[in-house]
Amino acid sequence: MLTLQCPYCGVWAEETELHAEGEAHLKRFGPDSDDADFESYLFMRENPKGVHLERWRHASGCGKFFHAARSTTTLEVFGTYSAQTLEPPQDIKDKISAKIPNWSWREFS
Amino acid sequence: MSKAVSALDGVAFEGFAKVEETGLRGMITVRGDLASKEMAAAVKTATGAAVPALRKVTSGDKASVAWMSPDELLVVVDYDQAEATVSQMNEALKGSHALVANVSDARAVFRVSGDGSRDVLAKLAPVDFAQEAFGADDIRRSRIAQVPAAVWGNDDGSFEVICFRSVAQYVFDVLKVSVQSGGEVGFH
């Protein structure tokens, strides 16, 4: 079972207390954007074998959204971090690099 | 005004521990910047307590205050004091970005007491109820079986569970099953 630490309330919450909210770091394209950007914002998602950055919500706990970095192959969790950020913090990136050198995920590596 | 009644009218059940509905309780949701001076002052005047730290409950002479999330508190008072406390806090928080709402009638409260209380709750919630992990004045929002709930520890070793009033019967029923004699776990 997946257990993630909520960065807002510090609780080690197991999967049933959380809700998966899809991919992290989506850049929104709204009104006046071109069709290709809007389409990719709506539909195009990463489906990596390996490092993945996801959004979760501590649904039955403090109710906050947060981000998690984990591996889809080993289910290893590299860490969780605040949702108030546009990219993963350096310490999370370092932790991933220590395990998986030369990883990349969208524009991050 | 119509006569206020609690969700299950004080129903109780005894197995290897005791589960009872505690009756009417005043509850006030407060949202805002918990680190601000205004919030600390408002909480202090209305309850006599300090703003609680992460996942803690503080008690004052008038009320208890529980940490619910990084920007939310729950003030627990006597039922008939709720409205007065709301207006006092609104007055104190005037001008700052905050919300104070009386949610007393939206909730139900249960007390679980007795030797096996920790086991009763541990069967129903994905929470570490070990003595050193969860004690008096700790609060944890989680779920009880399939519905959201919060649990806090009292000084006398009992626990109080709050849930939405609409699921009060469900929560009482699952607590009843969990507390049944013969279902002792003896883990905690």
pLDDT of residue A98: 95
Amino acid, single-letter form, for residue B120: V
pLDDT of residue B106: 95
State yes or no: pLDDT of B99 exceeds 80: yes
pLDDT of residue B188: 86
Residue B72 with chain A: CB contacts under 8 Å: 62
Is residue B67 within 8 Å of residue B73, measured between CB atoms?
Answer: yes
CATH code for position B127: 3.30.1360.120
Q: Which residues contact A72 (CB under 8 A, 6 or more apart)?
A: A48, A49, A50, A51, A52
Does one domain contain both B46 and B80?
yes
Task: Using CA coordinates, name the residue in chain A closest to B70.
Answer: A8
State yes or no: pLDDT of B1 exceeds 80: no
Q: What value does the mean pLDDT of chain B take?
A: 96
Q: Is B133 within a domain?
A: yes
Q: Is B120 within a domain?
A: yes
* pTM attached to this predicted model: 0.90
Does one domain contain both B134 and B100?
no
Q: How confident is the model at residue B126 (pLDDT cuts 50, 70, 90)?
A: very high
Q: Is B167 within a domain?
A: yes
Q: How confident is the model at residue B131 (pLDDT cuts 50, 70, 90)?
A: very high
Please give the share of chain A, as a percent, with pLDDT higher than 90: 97
Does one domain contain both B111 and B80?
no
- From B105, B132, B162, give the residue that closes a domain: B105
Residue B54 with chain A: CB contacts under 8 Å: 9-10
SS3 (DSSP) at B1: coil
pLDDT of residue A62: 94
Does one domain contain both B85 and B38?
yes
Does one domain contain both B31 and B95?
yes
Give the separation between CA A15 and CA B146, rounded to whole angstroms. 13
Does one domain contain both B167 and B125?
yes
Q: Is B111 within a domain?
A: yes
State yes or no: pLDDT of B111 exceeds 90: yes
Is residue B121 within 8 Å of residue B159, measured between CB atoms?
Answer: yes
Q: How confident is the model at residue A1 (pLDDT cuts 50, 70, 90)?
A: confident
- From B105, B124, B154, give the residue that closes a domain: B105
Average pLDDT over residues B50-64: 96
DSSP letters, A50-63, are SEEEEEEE-TTTT-
The 10 Å Cβ neighbour count of residue A32 is 6
What sign does the dihedral B133-B134-B138-B142 (CA atoms) show?
positive
Q: Is B5 within a domain?
A: no
Q: Specify the residue for token string 């947060």.
A: A66
Q: What residues in chain B have their Cβ under 8 A from chain A's Cβ atoms?
A: 54-55, 68-70, 72, 126, 140-143, 148
Count up the domains in chain B and report the number. 2
Q: How confident is the model at residue B2 (pLDDT cuts 50, 70, 90)?
A: confident
CATH code for position B46: 3.30.70.1520
Write the CA distances from B85 to A93, B30, B46, B55, B103, integer angstroms.
Answer: 47, 11, 6, 22, 12
- From B78, B105, B132, give the residue that closes a domain: B105
The tokens for A5 are 């630490």
Q: Is B6 within a domain?
A: no
Radius of gyration of chain A from its Cα atoms, rounded to whole angstroms: 14
Does one domain contain both B18 and B36?
no
Does one domain contain both B40 and B96?
yes
User: Domain range holding B38?
Assistant: 26-105
Contact A17 B55 (CB under 8 A): no
Does one domain contain both B90 and B36?
yes
CA A21 to chain centre: 9
Q: Is B123 within a domain?
A: yes
State yes or no: pLDDT of B26 exceeds 80: yes
Q: Which residues contact B98 (CB under 8 A, 6 or more apart)?
A: B30, B31, B32, B33, B38, B39, B42
State yes or no: pLDDT of A56 exceeds 90: yes
Nearest to A10 among B54, B126, B141 (CB): B54
Contact B143 A14 (CB under 8 A): no
Q: ipTM strictly over 0.95? A: no
Q: Is B36 within a domain?
A: yes
